[in-house]
Structure 1
């Protein structure tokens, strides 16, 4: 495990950093394979969108430096397959919650071991319903900010025999899973919840939405009843790709042909 802080090899950060004090920052988790960061532009687009939403955007020089480091400098440190985690905070300063007038970002980049989801992709997984609800806030919806306490608590509630858990908002709308986005097929239509009020717009979710054209797509508000009537269910993130769901609640789901087809199509696009 190797960490860089502001592009220098280091694993230390000031205890006064606002990311630690308030979760004042954003992060990205990027799959790297054969020395290349997968979907780097998409990850950086979301990172910049999050920083802008939090009113601490990188200027053009800072943005260029980050891209060059990730696209060129870091490659000599990468094993064959790994995860590269990028964390950007507002840095130090300000009084209490009040942000400083001049932002001096702290940029942390870690090279971490990559998990292996091959068995889950083949065999499918069990999905629970989490008792932890997702708070709605359109100002934070979609971005990957550092305040992930709902997910931390939900992970603690996850049963030992389940791989993931579905999370609803306080109105009972389907939002996402603890660490992945959710899709399902019903009567040949591909469905996924809209995330304009809560949740993280995953980069692999975006990839499926933009690049698969075989099946009609519906992005909308959905209730628990909608997914309980699904024909096929699968979950996604940038590390696991597409993982079928074989058990949800008291229902067993066959791994359907549409899910397998999407796995093949998206793997080819990777």
Structure 2
């Protein structure tokens, strides 16, 4: 049996001090930071026992963190080979944004038919708060932007589609959280939000679907441009070697 497989099997119960969700969350944060910074490079094997020693913990929180990272796309766990770091490159980011460019118009079309005045009013309130923040408040902006989109998606009956959107959004937010979003893209985001609200007010489902697709594709192109220009964390972790022909999907009008 391979060492990697052994590393992922349960060890004797010597881990009672580290079974809390907080312990798993701390290991998740540290492991993800090391992967994105390139301290644990793309393709590296992730052995539970070695990670537990690295972070001074026992093995259960490491396993839980690896499962969370697997669900978010940062880790691949293969039968008989164990876990490894997935390369986070342009292709990885593009694929997520292209999937979102299909999912989000579908979710928005349903919302356009069923949105209440109160929900649209809540979107306007959130957007007013976003615009009052100023360009530098990226931390609060991210919270409000999540809240804006949740108004639209959280009531949809297709929970699988909503969960996929949630998962992609968490992953993409993690990848881009330390990137410097340019002023022109920041302004474009606000205009796209306002256009979506305007379409919803006049019950223009086609217009709303176009508005959200433009929003998603614009965000994807911007993040990929940042990766190409070195705006990401580390060239080892965020490689920019994708075939340009594969990147054209986000350039769809």
More helix per residue: 2
- Which one has the bigger strand percentage? 1
Structure with max Cα Rg? 2
Q: TM-score, length-normalised on structure 1?
A: 0.32
Give the alignment's TM-score, normalised by structure 2.
0.34
More relative contact order in 1 or in 2 (CA 8 Å, sep 6+)? 2
